[in-house]
């Protein structure tokens, strides 16, 4: 029996290793150790890194001292979601090198045979094998693989090769597997035949940059994702028991439903009345239960306020308070006036730079957002976001005093700062000439700012890193734009798009078409806010009107993409959905699911033209041979309930979109 110096034999060391796959690249060894130590003594944790990029490869080894404890950890943690990823835990193979040996090799091994040129992986993540010369076939280490495996780009397993869990084209094996055969002659770029010089030129044209890395795009299969805020509703007596969406004339949305697949989507989870920010996070593939830090940072960043580490931001409303007979400040109007931009923007700059002598080094940064909203950022030492806000969330309730959410000194200090700021803002606004004039005219003054959703900036992988798509976003609403910034979206400005009742929705369509026609983006996110405002304002006619205006925007998108791409418009995917239900009957978010439809633009265009010529939706799709259609012909809360997608949660949306986009018709 060898001694501990022989690290190649796990049994001789008396330990046992687990291979942990699909880990977030943000996880550190200490994070993984913390999870696994609940089941026993962990001897070592090792996260392999790519030789070239020095980035984690997405898997790790956890070495236990006891076989029984390792088995307990494997049984309990396999399939558990950690940092937004469902990890897979298996036993590493018996003769795997020790973690110390692998660390040593990472320090000393050099690239051979031209380095990385042999890798032709389409995967966003770095190839799992290290570069090897094309003529070398003597590798015995289990974490290396033959160059032939690196050159494959096929999505499905090639006959005779081992299958991979990964959906990417890279067929690399994990370090726990033994190479089944010596290195073979590298395959051509095409999995079936050699590439001609012309094909090689075309191939090079399809190589572009996603999140700083060169990736191969076989075809430009763009996605345009239209999200109508607060779209869904309930049946209303004044609309003959129809919802506003059912009552509206929506030929473009109907064409997408008719030409594609439909279903009902719970933005976060069934029965949960979510906010726009958490809904958007979930729909974009970021679990809000794990990553959400409050909506304040989104609002502030969207308004143009930069945030540094340790800053705390708030989503804020200008509101009206009055003192009652007991001296309590009662919030009479949470939204002082949706026409606030016409008279109140100067109040934002008036509050910017506010300091409090009792809190040295502290300063308030303020900037106007949209309508009656502003972004506020607290800057200074010792702050945290583990506090409550001051917004009672309903009219005619007392102004809330902030409280700490835990026992930390930072939380206690931050709540004191917030209460002092709220008081100082009320005093300053009450004496401002604008508010004095409004009171003289019998109009409600903007004499307080309600601060809610305290949050630090989220730290997550970018959308491009998560999904392999280069995204842009058109969203004048600051909270949505700020979320997009946090996820690495390019925020595009559409002339005349305001994020309220005065918005120019057709300008959003034209801007999206221009961006999609170039080579920089293949995912466009277009947000429509006015429909949600109408729901909050309990205005049935306005909600129907803005749903119809949103449909006009979608019609322009469909026709514009078809004009640009022609027959290739079937390579472009279009999605339409909402982020939550905002019934005009209640004036606030509720928990019902929202309609969802996805189609290829070419199919939607055909249905739209038929609708325009015939004056009604195209005939039923039940007889269609395409697997990308169902028998739904209208886009509404009820009709999509019988769609092929069924009912699903928001965290499935991007998986569905990518699978639909990649499907070969």
pLDDT (tens digit per residue) in 565-623:
888 888 999 999 999 999 999 999 999 999 999 999 999 999 999 988 877 766 555 44
| Rounded Cα gap, residues 637 and 626, in angstroms | 24
The predicted model scores a pTM of 0.62
- The strand ranges marked E within 475-629 are 490-491, 523-528, 573-578, 594-600
Task: Report the pLDDT value the prediction gives residue 196, as an integer from 0 to 100.
Answer: 40
The CATH superfamily label for domain 223-292+460-662 reads Alkaline Phosphatase, subunit A (3.40.720.10)
| Rounded Cα gap, residues 35 and 67, in angstroms | 17
Task: Report the pLDDT value the prediction gives residue 265, as an integer from 0 to 100.
Answer: 98
**Average of per-residue pLDDT across 111-118:** 40
Task: Report the pLDDT value the prediction gives residue 91, as an integer from 0 to 100.
Answer: 86
pLDDT in tens, 255-278: 999 999 999 999 999 999 999 999
pLDDT in tens, 295-317: 889 988 988 888 888 899 998 99
Task: Report the pLDDT value the prediction gives residue 327, as an integer from 0 to 100.
Answer: 86
Which residues of the chain does CATH 3.40.720.10 include? Answer: 223-292+460-662
Which residues of the chain does CATH 3.30.70.330 include? Answer: 10-108
Distances in Å between the alpha carbon of 43 and those of 48, 61, 142, 559?
17, 11, 22, 61
Q: Does the pLDDT at position 155 exceed 60?
A: no
**Average of per-residue pLDDT across 452-476:** 93
**Average of per-residue pLDDT across 349-376:** 93
Which H or E run includes 136? Answer: none
Task: Report the pLDDT value the prediction gives residue 100, as an integer from 0 to 100.
Answer: 60
CA-wise closest residue to 659 among 641, 640, 638, 644: 644
Contact (CB, 8 A) for 236 and 584: yes
Task: Report the pLDDT value the prediction gives residue 158, as an integer from 0 to 100.
Answer: 37
Regarding the domain delimited by 10-108, which CATH topology (the fold level of the hierarchy) does it fall under? Answer: Alpha-Beta Plaits (3.30.70)
pLDDT in tens, 31-86: 899 889 988 999 999 998 877 677 788 889 999 988 889 988 988 888 887 877 77
Q: Does the pLDDT at position 219 exceed 90?
A: no
Q: Does the pLDDT at position 634 exceed 90?
A: yes
Task: Report the pLDDT value the prediction gives residue 67, as an integer from 0 to 100.
Answer: 86
Mean pLDDT, all residues of the chain? 81
When pLDDT is cut at 50, 70 and 90, the band that residue 173 belongs to is very low
pLDDT in tens, 504-534: 999 999 999 999 998 899 999 999 999 999 9
């Amino acid at each position: 029996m060898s001694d501990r110096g022989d690290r190649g034999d796990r049994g001789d060391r008396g330990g046992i290793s687990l291979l942990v796959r699909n880990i977030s690249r943000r996880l550190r060894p200490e994070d993984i150790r913390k999870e696994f130590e609940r089941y026993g003594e962990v001897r070592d944790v090792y996260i392999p890194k790519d030789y070239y990029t020095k980035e984690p490869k997405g898997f790790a080894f956890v070495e236990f001292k006891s076989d029984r404890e390792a088995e307990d950890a494997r049984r309990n943690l396999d399939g558990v979601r950690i940092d937004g990823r469902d990890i897979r835990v298996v036993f590493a193979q018996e003769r795997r090198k020790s973690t110390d040996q692998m660390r040593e090799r990472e320090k000393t091994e050099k690239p051979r045979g031209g380095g990385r040129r042999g890798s032709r992986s389409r995967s966003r993540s770095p190839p799992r094998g290290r570069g090897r010369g094309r003529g070398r076939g003597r590798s015995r280490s289990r974490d290396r693989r033959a160059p032939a495996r690196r050159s494959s780009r096929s999505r499905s397993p090639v006959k005779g090769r081992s299958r991979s869990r990964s959906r990417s084209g890279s067929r690399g094996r994990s370090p726990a597997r033994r190479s089944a055969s010596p290195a073979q002659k590298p395959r051509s770029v095409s999995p079936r035949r050699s590439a001609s010089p012309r094909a090689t030129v075309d191939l090079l044209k399809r190589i572009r940059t996603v999140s700083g890395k060169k990736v191969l795009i076989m075809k430009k299969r763009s996605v345009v994702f239209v999200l109508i805020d607060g779209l869904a509703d309930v049946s209303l007596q004044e609309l003959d028991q129809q919802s506003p969406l059912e009552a509206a004339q929506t030929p473009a949305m109907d064409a997408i439903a008719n030409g594609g697949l439909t279903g009902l989507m719970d933005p976060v989870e069934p029965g949960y009345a979510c906010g726009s920010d958490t809904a958007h996070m979930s729909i974009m593939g970021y679990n809000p239960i794990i990553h959400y830090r409050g909506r304040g940072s989104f609002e502030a960043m969207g308004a143009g306020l930069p945030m540094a580490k340790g800053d705390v931001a708030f989503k804020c409303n200008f509101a009206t308070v009055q003192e009652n007979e007991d001296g309590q400040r009662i919030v009479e109007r949470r939204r002082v006036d949706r026409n606030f931009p016409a008279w109140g923007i100067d109040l934002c700059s008036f509050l910017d730079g506010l300091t409090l002598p009792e809190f040295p080094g502290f300063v308030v940064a303020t900037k106007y957002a949209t309508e009656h909203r502003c972004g506020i950022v607290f800057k200074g030492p010792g702050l945290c976001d583990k506090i409550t806000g001051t917004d009672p969330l309903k009219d005619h309730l007392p102004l809330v005093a902030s409280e700490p959410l835990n026992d930390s000194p930072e939380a206690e200090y931050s709540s004191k700062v917030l209460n002092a700021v709220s008081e100082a803002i009320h005093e300053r606004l009450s004496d401002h000439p604008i508010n004095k004039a409004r009171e003289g005219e019998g109009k409600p003054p903007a004499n307080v700012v309600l601060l809610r959703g305290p949050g630090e900036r989220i730290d997550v992988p970018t959308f491009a890193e998560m999904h392999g798509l280069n995204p842009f976003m058109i969203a004048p609403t600051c909270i949505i734009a700020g979320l997009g910034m946090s996820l690495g979206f390019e925020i595009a400005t559409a002339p005349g798009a305001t994020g309220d009742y005065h918005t120019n929705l057709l300008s959003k369509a034209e801007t999206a078409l221009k961006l999609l026609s170039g080579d920089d983006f293949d995912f466009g996110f277009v947000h429509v806010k006015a429909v949600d405002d109408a729901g909050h304002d309990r205005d049935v006619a306005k909600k129907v009107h803005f749903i119809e205006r949103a449909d006009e925007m979608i019609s322009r998108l469909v026709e514009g993409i078809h004009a640009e791409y022609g027959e290739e418009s079937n390579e472009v995917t279009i999605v339409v959905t909402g982020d939550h239900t905002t019934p005009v009957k209640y004036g606030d978010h509720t928990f019902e699911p929202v309609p969802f439809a996805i189609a290829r633009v070419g199919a939607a265009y055909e249905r739209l033209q038929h609708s325009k010529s015939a004056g009604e939706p195209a005939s039923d799709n039940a007889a269609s041979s395409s697997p990308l259609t169902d028998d739904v012909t209208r886009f509404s809360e009820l009709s999509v309930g019988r769609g092929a997608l069924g009912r699903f949660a928001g965290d499935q949306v991007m998986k569905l979109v990518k699978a639909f986009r990649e499907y070969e018709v």
